[in-house]
């Protein structure tokens, strides 16, 4: 039985489990004739997912919760954090929580809640209790938890959603914070997200296979480009605040000020107070958030307790092949040419000249670190990710050689790109 405290809040989770079709050939279609049908499935080489009303969702989603979220009536002062997965959702939730709460800080965030899982038939004795991080309860994903759960929250409600504009509950008096991120970094982060979450059964997932899945509509929460296109006509709506993830990385304080002024009331007063604003900025850096991983998602749901993995911009270059980069560029133009988003991420998505990095394979081949990774990189034209080598053995006598190699072959712009969102330290920076 989980311990209780004055910070814990008793809640219960109910809902209907979906039938499961464990593994289906990749040629199979998950399209359903009956749009009210739902089931869990896993195509070969892909994450486990669910199909509900002809849409793809994570495998733990409940049809009744999802449908209730689509039809819920927002309150006038509701605040919706709207993103495609891995585009800054938790980051913005954390910022908003600080702006809306007096004296909010890590000591407040340590208040975990107890959720009781109940059987479907009497006697209704809890099967077990689970400690859930506060943010999952105080700022729930509406499509995961349902409208009834959100009804229990105090006003103003801070609600998270990955709904397209077509599905998101609408109220002209509610406020919507929309954040977007370039698709290459989004894809890369989403890949590691799927590998880390146990529910997807994708621990050994392959990047190339996930890349192909990302380009389709058969991925949890739907196609990235469909999501973006649904919101583009509304980014200048009076009750919508539009943010780019990359702009938040470049100037976090300015992003927080914009959010505070948009929310109004207490939030505006907080960003006008220099001391409070400075503290919120410090608490909201990626470096700071990485120290409190348990605050963002239940630990037992993750293979590694690393929900905040990296942050920043440009990590995709460590995993994409040149062909994959060109294919995603082509798809971007296909969907977004002629729209306001056509030129949004030209620099962030540009493929740099590979000749700059060729020498690193020769120098690193004499070092006893992940020789297999080096060889695979050469075969697939992938950029070498120094982060991949962190867990491997490095002889002390080789450190100076490795440092020299990094200085010589990794361009300055690429070395700092992974630290652009306030402090993620790569292997190269840790050697100085």
Asked if residue 360 and residue 297 are part of one domain, the reply reads no
Asked if residue 367 and residue 285 are part of one domain, the reply reads no
Asked if residue 364 and residue 291 are part of one domain, the reply reads no
The band of 179, judged by pLDDT with boundaries at 50, 70 and 90, is very high
Asked if residue 285 and residue 143 are part of one domain, the reply reads yes
* Gap between the Cα atoms of 26 and 44, Å rounded: 6
Is residue 325 in some structural domain? no
**What's the per-residue H, E or C state across 272-303?**
HCHHHHHHHHHHCCHHHHHCCHHHCCCHHHEC
Is residue 312 in some structural domain? no
The DSSP secondary structure of 167-203, one letter per residue, reads: TS---TTSEEEEEE--HHHHHHHHHHHHHHBGGG--T
Which of 10-19, 62-71, 419-428 shows the lowest per-residue confidence on average (mean pLDDT)?
419-428
Asked if residue 390 and residue 267 are part of one domain, the reply reads no
In this prediction, residue 375 carries a pLDDT of 39
Q: Which two tokens stand for residue 182?
A: 């370039």
pLDDT digits (tens, 9 = 90+) for 365-410: 333 333 333 334 333 444 444 344 333 333 333 444 444 433 433 3
* Gap between the Cα atoms of 345 and 187, Å rounded: 14
Strand order, beta sheet including 128-132: 10-13, 113-117, 128-132
pLDDT digits (tens, 9 = 90+) for 183-214: 999 999 999 999 888 889 999 999 999 999 99
Element (H, E) at 377: helix 371-380
Tell me the angle at which helices 252-263 and 274-283 cross, rounded to the nearest 10 degrees: 120
Domain end residue (candidates: 261, 282, 301): 301
Is residue 25 in some structural domain? no
Domain range enclosing 404:
355-410
In this prediction, residue 235 carries a pLDDT of 98
Number of other residues whose CB lies within 10 A of the CB of residue 420: 16
Q: Which is catalytic among the residues 162, 193, 204, 234? A: 162
pLDDT of residue 57 exceeding 90 = yes
pLDDT of residue 299 exceeding 50 = yes
Is residue 36 in some structural domain? no
Asked if residue 279 and residue 382 are part of one domain, the reply reads no
Single pTM value for the model: 0.72
44: three-class secondary structure by DSSP? coil
Is residue 228 in some structural domain? yes
pLDDT of residue 294 exceeding 70 = no
Which of 123-132, 149-158, 273-282 shows the lowest per-residue confidence on average (mean pLDDT)?
123-132
pLDDT of residue 103 exceeding 70 = no
Asked if residue 373 and residue 297 are part of one domain, the reply reads no
Asked if residue 262 and residue 122 are part of one domain, the reply reads yes
In this prediction, residue 71 carries a pLDDT of 97
Region class of 304: left (phi > 0), else alpha (psi between -120 and 50), else beta:
beta
Is residue 316 in some structural domain? no
Asked if residue 295 and residue 359 are part of one domain, the reply reads no
Give the best-scoring range by mean pLDDT among 16-20, 22-26, 107-111, 315-319: 315-319
The band of 310, judged by pLDDT with boundaries at 50, 70 and 90, is low
pLDDT digits (tens, 9 = 90+) for 14-53: 555 565 554 444 444 444 434 457 999 999 999 999 999 9
pLDDT above 70: percentage of residues in the chain: 60
When pLDDT is averaged across residues 325-347 and rounded to a whole number, the result is 97
pLDDT of residue 281 exceeding 60 = yes
The mean pLDDT value of the chain amounts to: 74
In this prediction, residue 374 carries a pLDDT of 34
User: Can 162 be counted among the known catalytic residues?
Assistant: yes
* Neighbouring-strand partners of residue 57: 50
| CATH number assigned to the domain comprising residue 283 | 3.40.50.300
Is residue 399 in some structural domain? yes
Q: How many domains does the chain have?
A: 2
CA distances from 120 to 16, 105, 125, 242 (A): 9, 38, 10, 42
When pLDDT is averaged across residues 8-17 and rounded to a whole number, the result is 49
Is residue 140 in some structural domain? yes
* Gap between the Cα atoms of 258 and 244, Å rounded: 12
Asked if residue 369 and residue 274 are part of one domain, the reply reads no
Which of 96-105, 216-225, 353-362 shows the lowest per-residue confidence on average (mean pLDDT)?
353-362
Sign of the four-CA dihedral 301, 222, 84, 181: positive
Asked if residue 289 and residue 166 are part of one domain, the reply reads yes
Domain end residue (candidates: 301, 323, 341): 301
Asked if residue 365 and residue 296 are part of one domain, the reply reads no
In this prediction, residue 55 carries a pLDDT of 96
389: three-class secondary structure by DSSP? helix
């Amino acid at each position: 039985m989980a311990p209780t405290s004055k910070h814990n809040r008793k809640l219960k989770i109910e809902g209907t489990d979906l039938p499961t079709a464990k593994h289906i050939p990749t040629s199979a279609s998950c399209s359903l004739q009956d749009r009210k049908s739902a089931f869990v499935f896993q195509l070969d080489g892909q994450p486990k997912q669910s199909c509900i009303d002809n849409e793809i969702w994570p495998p733990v989603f409940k049809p009744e919760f999802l449908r209730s979220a689509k039809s819920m009536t927002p309150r006038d002062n509701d605040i919706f954090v709207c993103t495609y997965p891995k585009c800054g959702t938790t980051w913005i939730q954390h910022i908003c929580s600080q702006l809306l709460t007096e004296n909010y800080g890590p000591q407040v965030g340590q208040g975990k809640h107890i959720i009781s899982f109940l059987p479907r038939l009497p006697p209704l004795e809890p099967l077990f209790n689970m400690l859930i991080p506060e943010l999952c309860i105080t700022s729930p994903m509406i499509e995961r938890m349902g409208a009834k759960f959100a009804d229990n929250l105090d006003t103003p409600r801070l609600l998270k959603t990955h709904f397209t504009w077509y599905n998101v509950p609408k109220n002209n008096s509610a406020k919507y914070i929309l954040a977007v991120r370039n698709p290459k970094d989004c894809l890369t982060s989403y890949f590691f997200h799927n590998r880390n979450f146990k529910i997807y059964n994708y621990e050994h997932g392959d990047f190339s296979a996930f890349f192909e899945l990302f380009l389709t509509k058969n991925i949890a929460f739907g196609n990235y480009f469909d999501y973006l296109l649904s919101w583009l006509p509304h980014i200048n709506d009076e009750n919508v605040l539009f943010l780019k993830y990359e702009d938040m990385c470049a100037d976090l304080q300015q992003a927080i000020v914009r959010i505070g002024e948009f929310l109004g009331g207490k939030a505006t007063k907080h960003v006008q107070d220099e001391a409070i604003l400075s503290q919120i900025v410090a608490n909201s850096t990626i470096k700071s958030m990485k120290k409190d991983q348990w605050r963002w998602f239940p630990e037992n749901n993750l293979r590694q307790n690393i929900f905040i993995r990296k942050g920043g911009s440009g990590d995709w270059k460590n995993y994409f092949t040149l062909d994959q980069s060109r294919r995603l560029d082509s798809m971007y133009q296909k969907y977004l040419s002629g729209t306001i988003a056509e030129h949004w991420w030209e620099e962030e998505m540009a493929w740099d000249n590979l000749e700059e990095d060729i020498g690193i394979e020769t120098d690193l081949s004499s070092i006893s670190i992940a020789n297999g990774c080096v060889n695979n990189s050469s075969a697939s034209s992938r950029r070498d990710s120094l982060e991949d080598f962190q867990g491997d053995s490095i002889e002390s006598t080789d450190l100076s050689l490795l440092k020299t190699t990094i200085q010589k072959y990794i361009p300055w712009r690429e070395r700092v790109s992974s630290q652009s969102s306030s402090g993620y330290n790569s292997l190269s920076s840790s050697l100085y």
